[in-house]
Amino acid sequence: MAQMGFFDLSDRYASLDAKKDPLVAIDAVVPWEEFRPTLEGVWRKPDLERVAFNRLHTLQP
């Protein structure tokens, strides 16, 4: 895959806008910031203590 040029991304966005990309319409309607607390509450974050214990446990004889 070739490296993207300087205007490739802006050309891609212009092409999507010209084709009436449905994601643009959805983005205009959906209040994303209202969903942020719900999504952050559901998002699985790694339990760092458990991860550290598992790493140490596997290193012990």
Q: How does pLDDT run across 26-54, given as a tens digit for each residue?
A: 889 988 888 888 887 887 766 666 655 55
Q: How far apart are CA 37 and CA 32, in angstroms?
A: 10
Q: How many CA atoms lie within 13 A of 30 on its CB side?
A: 9
* pTM exceeding 0.85: no
pLDDT at 58 over 50: no
Q: How far apart are CA 46 and CA 5, in angstroms?
A: 37
